[in-house]
Structure 1
Amino acid sequence: MPIAVDIDVMLARRKMSVGELADRVGITPANLAVLKNGRAKAVRFATLAALCDVLECQPGDLLRWEAEDAEDAQAG
């Protein structure tokens, strides 16, 4: 997927656990893990805003676009 999720980077910078972030954002640790591991198909803006609020960051600190490899693009 061309969208990479860097929640783990921000967690490390803030010295915060996944469980603490999930509690403070108001989502389950399982749903946060799906998002953190890049398996989510979508994210609500309200959830993204809550993540940014708790982590004191911008959406671009959590999400970034990566170009797909040429091989992947041709296979798709």
Structure 2
Amino acid sequence: MKDVAFQKRFGQHLRDFRESRGLSIRQVEINGEIDRAIISKIETGSQTATLVTLHKILKAMGTTESEFFADFDSSDD
């Protein structure tokens, strides 16, 4: 169950991060050549992101893994 909670927290962080940059899923899809359905599933926690997919998403957002993870709390509740 903790994995599911982590996955949902991760997805919510990704969504918040994207929205804080004023980007839509469609913009990330176009910039990163990633299907928006996959992005949506990752953001809702129903699918995990591979490192390659996460890298593409973050690059499409114009950011780095370091910046993305700087304020992500991965600890258990």
TM-score of the pair, normalised by structure 1: 0.68
**Is 1:50 aligned to 2:64, yes or no?**
no
CA RMSD of aligned residues (A): 2.2
Aligned mate of 1:11, from 10, 18, 30? 18
| Structure with more contact order per residue of length (Cα contacts < 8 Å, sep ≥ 6) | 1
Specify the alignment match of 2:76 in structure 1. Answer: 67
Larger Rg: 1
TM-score of the pair, normalised by structure 2: 0.68
Higher strand share: 1
Q: Give structure 1 regions of 4+ aligned residues with deviation exceeding 4 angstroms.
A: 61-64
Contact 2:34 2:57 in 1 (8 A): no
Aligned mate of 1:35, from 30, 42, 45? 42
Identity %: 10
Unmatched segments (≥5 aa) in structure 2: none
Cα–Cα, structure 1 residues 27 and 65, in superposed 2: closer, same or farther, change >3 Å?
Answer: same
